[in-house]
Amino acid sequence: MVAANELKAGMTFEMDGKLLRVLEASHHKPGKGNTIMRMKLRDVRSGSTVDTSFRPEEKFEQAIIETRPAQYLYQMDDTAFFMDTESYDQYEIPVAQVAEELKYVLENEEIKIQFYGTEVIGLTLPTTVVLTVAETQPSIKGATVTGSGKPATMETGLVVNVPDFIEAGEKLEINTQTGAYLKRAN
């Protein structure tokens, strides 16, 4: 059991038969009354998000999440296919369940699959990934790093705001938590 005031972003717990992942958690002390915990939660199975609040002393059953190394094979229709790199088992995951994560993953890339018992519930990405710019506006001569930037579509379909000097075909390092451009990759 874990108390509401111990829940942090990234933790997963069970409530009313649902498996919920904490996206954001903060203490809130109104002028009068008791402290409450404000949370943004995602239902792991349905993908829906909800903003809610709990009393700090409320208790929940923490979900034990196991991760296994896997390789992203391909996507067909509305299913993504992965292979366990140790047992060579193949997993089929509905694209709707991992659509955000797939924007950072190329075919044949190593990632980690999250399991709750035998149920596949998601993917764990590395903190940063290197992707190639598929399409962006031409670079502007004399552009500086401090400009407002421009949108660039990466090879996976992810759209990232990049500095004006970036051109199509360049490899960039992208933060998977924020979706932000970090730097050019070597």
Question: Each residue of 110-164: pLDDT tens digit?
Answer: 899 988 888 888 888 888 889 998 888 886 666 555 567 888 899 988 999 988 8
**In this structure, how many other beta carbons lie within 10 angstroms of the beta carbon of residue 151?**
11
What's the mean pLDDT when you consider all of the chain? 85
Domain boundaries, the chain: 2-62, 66-124, 128-184
Q: Which residues of 54-76 are buried (b: 16+ CB within 10 A; e: fewer)?
A: beeeeebeebebeebebbbbeee
Q: Using a pLDDT cut of 90, give the percent of the chain over it.
A: 9
The pLDDT, as a whole number, for residue 145 is 55
pLDDT band of 83, cuts 50, 70, 90: very high
CA distance 158 to 88: 29
Could you confirm whether domain 66-124 is CATH 2.40.50.140? yes
CA distance 176 to 173: 9
The pLDDT, as a whole number, for residue 73 is 92
The arithmetic mean of pLDDT across residues 23-48, rounded, is 83
Token pair 């208790």: residue: 59
Indicate if 66-124 has the same CATH topology as 2-62.
Answer: no
Q: What CA–CA distances, in Å, run from 42 to 10, 31, 97, 121?
A: 10, 29, 11, 12
Q: Could you tell me the pTM of the whole model? A: 0.71
The pLDDT, as a whole number, for residue 118 is 83
Fold of 2-62: SH3 type barrels. (2.30.30)
Superfamily the domain 128-184 falls into: Nucleic acid-binding proteins (2.40.50.140)
